[in-house]
A = this chain, B = another copy of it.
Amino acid sequence: MLETKKDIKLEQLQNADLHQYADLYKDELLKEVIPFWEKYSIDNQYGGYFTCLDRQGNVYDTDKFIWLQGRQVWTFSMLYNKVEKKEEWLDIALHGAKFLLENGRDEEGNWYFSLNQKGEPLVVPYNIFSDCFAAMAFGELYKATNDDLHKEVAVNTYNNILSRQNNPKGKWSKVYSGTRELKNFSLPMILCNLSLLLEEVIGKEVVDEMVPPLIEDIMTNFLNKEHGIIMENVGANGAFCDSFEGRIINPGHGNESMWFLIDIATRYNKPELIKQCEEILIKTTEFGWDKEFGGIYYFLDIKGHPTQELQWNQKLWWVHIETMISFAKAYKLTGNEKSKEWFIKLHDYTWNHFRDEEYKGEWFGYLTREGQPLLEAKGGKWKGCFHVPRGLYELWTTLK
């Protein structure tokens, strides 16, 4: 058993009902994590947000990554929409949105990957997830502002994503056409979440039309029937491909997608789908759990072969937070004790390893296999104001 930290009083929560955990998540969100980003991330000189922040909140790099700019706009808009109508939160969201509107897109409306501090483009729009997080940002912001411009940007970006859906990498794809064409899980996964989040701007009809084929695709093609877990890359009709790409498992991805699907199943009243998601979640977590040091591996080869990814055995914040959300939602809906047990195990691991006891605020992102910080940063090129606050919010509201 891992040593538990005194101030979060895990010992007494251990055998309690999960709803007693709710305040812990709420307090961490509102008293620690959000104040960190409010205090350290705002670039008052050039607009937008700094995300490369060290343990104490100092800026160590000023480049601006569109994924993370969009995600922070979303987070502050969401807090304003769902937690409290605080003007400061809306101002922070609008501050990032202004920077994105002024600098974020090329002439065709595609979102760049990164900009320098001033907003000048550094890396071209090769990555469709920049567009996904921009659409998410402006869709959520529109709910706060009712500003037609925000709606229009969200809708146009969403439609642009759909038009690129079957070839998301476009001219950037390095795959030779015809020999081995694999389909990647990331885009169908994120579209499940994005389509639901954007209902207010894209309309119920679009959501109703989008969602069933996405569920079908995930549960028929990406779900590996033999192992009961989600594959990152599959061939036509879900065929297994015995190659580095075809064998790779990203347990965090699989587990994150399960709460997106549980949300869909709740909305469309599909109890069977909830049960199926819980089974996948349990199998994936059993498969991905490090029995020696605890925590969930970043990547594993389904056949146990060496992975291409040298970071395979590291423990990443989002993997653990997203998995907790899925278990919390599953347990709430099914009452399955296995989900409760996994939730508690993950809760203990997460609070004991990712939370920084010395410099509170945002959590560590990257741990070694043994659970020590691999990088002491609180943010960087791929980690901003998103998974920790979204997770704390989802856990607080699910558990209460």
Q: Which residues of A contact B (CB under 8 A)?
A: 52, 54, 60-61, 63, 112-113, 116, 120-124, 126, 171-172, 174-176, 179-180, 242-244, 303, 305-308, 310-314, 366, 368-369, 374-377, 380-381
Q: Are B179 and A120 in contact (CB under 8 A)?
A: yes
Contact B180 A122 (CB under 8 A): yes
B176 touches A121 (CB 8 A): yes
Q: Are A122 and B61 in contact (CB under 8 A)?
A: no
CA distance A380 to B306 in the complex (A): 8
Number of identical protomers = 2
User: Contacts A175-B123, A179-B121, A180-B116; is A380 near B308 (CB within 8 Å)?
Assistant: yes
Find out whether the CB atom of B244 lies under 8 angstroms from the CB atom of A306: no
| Interface residue from B124, B310, B311 paired with A175 (Cβ < 8 Å) | B124
Contact (Cβ within 8 A) A174 B380: no
Q: Which of B122, B242, B375 has a CB less than 8 Å from the CB of A306?
A: B375
- A375 contacts which of B307, B375, B377, B381 (Cβ < 8 Å)? B307
Tell me, rounded to whole Å, the shortest Cβ–Cβ distance linking A398 to chain B. 30
**B residues in contact with A179, CB < 8 Å:** 116, 120-122
Q: How far is the CA of A303 from the CA of B123 in the complex (A)?
A: 23
Known contacts A63-B244, A171-B171; is-contact A308 B381 (Cβ 8 Å):
yes
Whether B63 contacts A176 by the Cβ 8 Å rule is no
- A–B complex contacts, Cβ < 8 Å, 13 sampled: A54-B306, A61-B305, A63-B244, A112-B176, A116-B180, A120-B176, A122-B180, A124-B175, A244-B381, A306-B377, A308-B380, A313-B374, A368-B369
Question: In the complex, A307 Cα to B374 Cα: how many Å?
Answer: 10
Our pick among B171, B243, B377, B380 for the contact of A61 (Cβ within 8 Å) is: B243
Chain B proximity of A175: nearest CB distance (Å): 7
CB neighbours of A244 from chain B (8 A): 61, 63, 381
Instruction: Judge whether B122 and A176 touch: CB under 8 Å.
Output: yes
Most chain B beta carbons < 10 A, residue from A54, A306, A308: A306
Minimal Cβ-Cβ distance residue in B for A123: B174
17 additional contacts (CB under 8 A) given A52-B306, A124-B175, A311-B311: A52-B305, A60-B306, A61-B243, A61-B244, A61-B305, A63-B244, A112-B176, A113-B174, A122-B175, A122-B180, A124-B176, A306-B377, A306-B380, A308-B380, A310-B374, A310-B375, A312-B375
Cα of A200 to Cα of B14 in the assembled complex, Å: 73
State how many angstroms separate the Cβ of A324 from the closest Cβ of chain B.
Answer: 22
Those 4 A-B pairs whose CB atoms lie nearest each other, nearest first: A310-B311, A121-B176, A306-B377, A306-B375
